Structure 1
Amino acid sequence: MSLALQETDDFIGETLSRPLHVLYQDEHILAVFKPAGLIVHRSKLTLPHEPVLLQALRDQIGKFVYPVHRLDRPTAGIVLFGLHSEAAAKLVQRFTDRHIAKYYQALVRGFTDDTFVVDRPLQDKFGEEWDPGSTEGNPLQEACTEFQSLQRFEVPWESNGFPSSRYSLLEIKPITGRWHQIRRHLNHVANPVIGDHRHGDHRHNQMMHQMTGVYRMLLTAVRIDLRHPYTDEMLTVAAGRGSEFDRAIEALRALSVS
């Protein structure tokens, strides 16, 4: 079974102005499109009146939902929930066993190889004083990400002494699930995600905003493949990149000289 949603609102301000896009729902599981800027569940850093995906979804469908994985606040895309504790436990186990495949698309700085793999251990975030150069208190863990270039763009935007700027649209499959894994792996190979204000390139982030009006981080979880935990049927949930992401791609295509 395959389900897809092509039109998605992918960025929010302080409030949710429209209902969330539910991509799939049955009696056991639910998939929803999380806009960029929205956190999945509340933490000690969440502001008192800040919208939260879990709460907004529960209010919208009138049922309690159980989180089984998360996306970073600035990342848009598909998030799965269990609709009861047993379903959530089954989904968590499938994530742990790597039986659920997640695919992302990202716009990055520079041209990349057609296909490449980054197999580089990462330290998961340790408290609020995370140090990317230290492993004290939190050891390095296996981290592997597969990448495929979908399209390349060269546009006449001067940058760093060059007359043009280069970008690549990538499809990404993380094999493991470490903190900010995709963003950190891309930064490691000097192809940071556009709009990533923590691990990215400030000049290119600012230029993309000035030239296209797009400010959000251009990373979206666009597909999840899994076997249904109760029917064992193969289920593919797919979504578009989001309206802001699409606007950036359309602008690059219109201006591209390569």
Structure 2
Amino acid sequence: MTLNILFQDDDLVIVNKPAGLLVHRTELAKDEEDAVVQRLRDQTGKWVFPVHRLDRATSGVLIMAFSPHIARALGEQFTHNKNQKIYHCLVRGFCHDQGIIDYPLVKISEPKGMPRFKVPGSEKEAQTEFELLERYQLPYPVSRYDSMRLSWIKVMPKQGRKHQIRRHFKHTLHPLVGDSRYGCRHINKAMNTLWPEVFRLMLHASSLSFTHPATHQAMTVSAPFDGKIQTTLARLKPHQII
């Protein structure tokens, strides 16, 4: 399956990564044949170099470079927070209208063949700004509650810590719908029972603003929602709380 290319020139290529696809093979998934790197190599006929990552279950804007020096230059922008990332996600409960989650995150290590663990002394600052877009209340029981409450939000993480958005919203007791690691099993079970054909991690990298390292042009690239997210939002619309 070909990837949806949002932008391409001689230096870099930007795609709308589908949910469920690895960015590249890892030590933990080295037997997997399919990944963005392999698909783009075949699709463009060029070697590509990852600049940043999206979780396997996350969809949206992803940049790859066609050379190591372009990858390094773009990587510097990510390291020093010189770009702007906008995500959209669906979370449990009713969020505040807006806010900033300022909560340091400890590095997570996942050694081969061993359970993942938090690395002591590796705590780093992390801030995630958010803005409420919609609230929904559905007449379906979840655990001990007689209705399901959800919030659709726009999220702007300042850094790019591993699983930053997912961990931050778990910390605020508003875990992401469809999150198998940090989510709520009750809300996930309810959503999967209600709409199993569109159930997924409801997290999408909607846009990325950065400076092109070769042309020095300011760029913003946006990625549309996939069919599962669009269908979910359409089904939620009648349950919107004004």
Measured against the shorter chain, the TM-score band is: over 0.9
Question: 4+ residue runs of structure 1 moved beyond 6 angstroms?
Answer: none
1:218-251 residue CA offsets vs partner (Å, 9 max, x unmatched): 0000100011112222111001121111111111
- 2:168 is equivalent to residue 182 of structure 1: no
Equivalences for 1:9-28 in 2 at 5 Å?
Answer: 18-28=1-11
- Is residue 32 from structure 1 mapped to residue 18 from structure 2 by the alignment? no
Are the aligned partners of 1:209 and 1:215 in contact in 2 as well (CA < 8 Å)?
yes
1:241 equivalenced with 2:225 (yes/no): yes
* Aligned counterparts, 1:53-202, within 5 A: 53-128=36-111, 129-132=115-118, 135-136=119-120, 138-202=121-185
Residue type at the aligned position of 2:222: A
Alignment of 1:251 onto 2:225: no
Q: Does the CA-based 8 Å contact 1:65-1:84 persist in structure 2? A: yes
CA contact (8 A) 1:212 1:247 kept: no
Equivalent residues in 2 for 1:37-56 (5 A)?
37-56=20-39
Aligned partners of 2:12, 2:41: CA distance in 1, in Å?
A: 13
- Deviation at residue 209 of structure 1 after TM alignment: 1.6
The CA distance in 1 between the partners of 2:230 and 2:185, in whole Å, is 21
Q: Post-superposition shift, 1:255?
A: 3.7
Cα distance in 2 for residues equivalent to 1:94 and 1:256: 38
Tell me the TM-score normalised to structure 1 length.
0.88
Structure number with greater CO (CA < 8 Å, separation at least 6) is 1
Identify the match of residue 205 of structure 1 among 188, 193, 203.
188
CA RMSD of aligned residues (A): 1.4
Letter in 1 for 2:80: D
- Kept in 2: contact 1:155–1:257 (CA 8 A): no
Deviation of 1:47 (Å): 4.7
Aligned mates of 1:229, 1:47 — CA distance in 2? 31
- Counting aligned pairs with the same residue, the percent is 36
| Alpha-carbon shift at residue 97 of structure 1 (Å) | 1.6
| 1:231 paired residue among 215, 219, 236 | 215
Q: Tell me the residue number matched to 2:204.
A: 220
| CA deviation map 1:165-203 (0-9, x unaligned) | 110001111101111110000000010000000000111
The 1-side partners of 2:117 and 2:44 are apart by: 40
Give 5+ residue unaligned stretches, structure 2.
Answer: none
Equivalenced residue count is: 238
Question: 2:146 and 2:109 mapped to 1: Cα distance?
Answer: 41
Kept in 2, the 8 Å contact 1:143–1:176? The answer is yes
CA distance in structure 1 between the aligned counterparts of 2:100 and 2:231, rounded to whole angstroms? 28
Where does the alignment leave 5 or more consecutive residues of structure 1 unmatched?
A: 1-17
Contact 1:107 1:219 in 2 (8 A): yes
Task: Tell me the amino acid that sits aligned with residue 229 of structure 1.
Answer: P
**Partners of 2:239 and 2:100 in 1: how far apart?**
29
The TM-score normalised by the length of structure 2 is 0.94
